[in-house]
Structures are given as C-alpha cells and as structure tokens.
Amino acid sequence: MTNVFANNSVLEIALAAGVLLLLIGNICFLLFRKNNRELDRISETLLRGQAELAGRLAQVSEQSRQEQTRISDAINEQKMAVLKIMDEKLLAVTKSVGDGLQQSTVKTNETLQALRERLTKIDVAQQKISSLSEQVVSLQEVLSNKQARGAFGEIQLNDLVKSILPPSAYEFQVVMSNQKRADCVLKLPNPPGTIVIDAKFPLESYHALRTASSDREKVEAERFFRASVLKHIKDISEKYIITSETAESALMFLPSEAIYAELHANFCDVVEASYRSKVWIVSPTTLMATLNTVRAILKDASMREQAGVIQKEVGILVDDIGRLDDRIENLSKHFDMASRDINDIKVSSGKISRRIQKIEDFQLGESETRLALEHKIAND
C-alpha cells in the first residue's frame, strides 16, 4: 500500500510540472507571438508539446484513476475483512459477556435466596429473643415480689424432689410440732431422721449487692447481705431443727447457682456459720446430688427392713427343697421297683412264647406223620 501511495505522489508531481510547463509556454506564446515566424514555429512546437503533454497527462490521469480505483477496492476489501474480524470478535465478546451475566445472575439469585433464608432465620431468632426478653422481664417481676419469689423457689424445689425421690420419701408444706410450716420434709430412717428443706431465701440483699456501683454502696450491700443470710440461717436452725422430731441438721435451698457461688467465694464466714448451726446450704446442682444420696440411703434402709422377710422366705425355700429331694428319692425307688416288675414280666412273657412255640412244633409233627400214612395207603 505504501508503494501505491508513492506512485500516486509521483504522478501528481509530474502533472503539476506539466501544468507549469504549459503555463510557461502560453506566457511565451503571448509574449513572442508577434515577432516572427520562428516564434510561430516555436509556438507550434509548443502547441504540439502541449498537446502531447495533455495526452500524456490524460494518460497519467487515467492510470492514476485506475490506480486509485484499485487502491479503493483493496481498501474496501481490507475494510470488509477487518469488519468481519471485528464482528466475529464482537460476537465472541458479546457471547462471553452474556454467559458471564447469566452466571452472575444465577449466583446473584442464589445469594439473594440464601440472604432471604438468613433474614427469615434472623426474624425467627428476633421473635424468640423478644419472647425471651418478655420472659426475663416476667422473671424479674416474679423475683422482685417476695411472695412470688418464694413460690418460684418452692416450685423449683418441688420439681427437683419429685424427679429424684419416690413419693413416700417426701412431703411438702408440713406443719411441725412448733406450728412452723416447712417447705419440704425428707422422710429418712433414724439415723439421721426427718430432714427439713427451706426455700425462702432473702434475695433483696443479693440484688442490692449486685447493683452496688460505688465502693461505699458495695460495702453496705455486703454488710446487709451477710446479716440477711446469717439471720436466715439462724431462723432455719431454730424453726426446723427439733429434738426427737427432725434430724440434727436442715437444708437451706438457694434457687440460684450465682448466689451459691457468691457465698462460697466471698463470704466464707457465713458458710462456716452455717456449718456450726448445722444448716447445710445447697444450690439446685448440689441439692440434686444430695437427693441422689438420700435415694441410695432409702434404698439401703428398705433392703435392711426386708432382710428378715427375705431370710425367712429363704428358710422356707430350703425346707421346700429338702421335701423335694425326699420326694425325688421316693420316686426313684418307685422307678426301681417298676423296673424290676417289668423285667419279671419280660421273663414270664419269654417263657410263654417258648411254650407256644413247642406246641406249634408238636402240631406240625403230627400233620407230617398223618400225611405220610395216607400216602403209603394210597400206594398200596
């Protein structure tokens, strides 16, 4: 293509030179036309040269036009090839972009679906959290009321006792001989005897301890909490430890593991005071372990109570086994006698069989003798 443009430039230069020569010739013709015949001859020569130059220029122009046409055709072909290649690449790019958009749409739909499911789960969890917060508020309202709090502790105590011990081993809301009402009584054999469980713990002092913000409030709350718990321990010891009626100890039930941990972590003197008063502090977890121990004690006591009955029944069973041995011995003797009788019967049966055989042999011999005599008479 570069050669084509170069040839075209040469043709244009030649054309420009020819036009310039033609102008010069015309000017010379105009200037010297009137002088002489030589000028006329020169003019003719110039005219002929002009005509030849015009023909040559026309020929060059025609060649230039043909070359331009060929160049234009080549450019059009290359343009069509380039356009075809660009169309193919554009189609490939469009297809790739379409596939990518389709895959992206599918992934986006899957992501949106997963997002909807997660949002649904979040809504359900939010509803559960709302319900739980309502329940926590209700629980706080219950615990803020002294009577309701006592009922809550008693219900928790009832559930634990009923789930572990048999019905005969406990009783609720029992009036003692001193006219004091016990939340729960464990009926154990002596020793240790009946044990009382109290579930009315003073929770206000613990709330004051937890909500104390300054050091002064904390010190006052600790003093109030210590005094409340010690008073409650003293009340249990005086009300529910009765000589010859209950065991020498009682249980103080705490419906919260946090209070139990607080006492043993920061109020060891209170715990030691409960030991001295023989009032054992229990939480839901430790009460469960205690009740399982009580259940084992009741089972052992029941086994001891039934030991005499079992021993008596074993003696009767031994006597029955002895009588069974005697009867088996008698039966064995009867079997021996029956065996001897059967052997005697077999002997008698053998003798009878042999006698029958002899009789049959005797009858057979007489028949043969009779037949021999008849045959002899017939021959004679």
User: pLDDT, tens digit, for every residue of 322-375?
Assistant: 787 788 888 777 777 877 777 778 777 777 777 777 776 655 555 555 555 555
Alpha-carbon distance of 165 to 210, in angstroms, equals 35
pLDDT at 40: 63
Residue 225 has pLDDT above 80, yes or no: yes
C-alpha distances out from residue 24 to 52, 267, 363, Å? 15, 131, 188
Token digits for 58?
Answer: 């026309």
Task: Name the phi and psi angles at 213, rounded to 5.
Answer: -105, -45
Residue 139 has pLDDT above 60, yes or no: no
pLDDT, tens digit (0-9, with 9 covering 90-100), for 31-58: 555 455 565 666 677 667 667 767 777 7
Handedness of CA 26, 27, 30, 31 (dihedral sign): negative
C-alpha distances out from residue 185 to 174, 241, 248, 365, 366, Å? 7, 12, 13, 109, 110
**pLDDT, average across residues 153-162:** 83
Token digits for 12?
Answer: 């244009």
Residue 259 has pLDDT above 80, yes or no: yes
CA atoms within 13 A on the CB side of 269: 6
Residue 142 has pLDDT above 50, yes or no: no
pLDDT at 221: 86
pLDDT at 5: 43
Decide: pTM greater than 0.75: no
CB 281 within 8 A of CB 252: yes
